[in-house]
Amino acid sequence: MFKNTPFEAIAKTMSEAAPKMNPAAMQEAIKPVQDNLKAWADLAQVQAKEAQASKEALEKAHRYSKPIATQIVPAVTFYPAEDYHQQYLEKRGLASCHVKY
């Protein structure tokens, strides 16, 4: 019912429908949303483990002259960059950034 729907839209729909629904119907309607949120949380844990393993492998390989300073922490709030930041390199005819490793 709510697949690929922004959370805010789901919350609005559910809050508008709640007064009209009996508790059993509300619980049934919420189940797919709860399952979807759990799937996202599970995916985030897997990605964090993979990122940590990748960081550790790079450090063990001594690919960089200095330790990797990037911290792997849970994302709290995501703020998309302004449009003028998107495809920055491509807009300037660059294939990659200037950072050398």
Please name which of 35, 1, 9, 13 lies closest in space to residue 21, comparing C-alpha atoms.
Answer: 13
The rounded average pLDDT for each run of 10 residues, N- to C-terminus, in the chain (101 residues) is 61 71 74 76 87 92 88 80 82 76 55
Tell me the whole-structure pTM to 2 decimals: 0.47
Please name which of 35, 17, 39 lies closest in space to residue 26, comparing C-alpha atoms.
Answer: 17
The verdict on residue 82 lying in a domain is no
The verdict on residue 13 lying in a domain is yes
Structural domain containing residue 54:
7-72
The verdict on residue 36 lying in a domain is yes
The verdict on residue 83 lying in a domain is no
Distance between CA 82 and CA 78 in Å, rounded? Answer: 13
Contact assessment for residue 75 and residue 37, using Cβ atoms and an 8 Å cutoff: no
Per the structure, the count of domains in the chain is 1
**Token code pair at residue 14:** 């559910």
**Token code pair at residue 87:** 């495809």
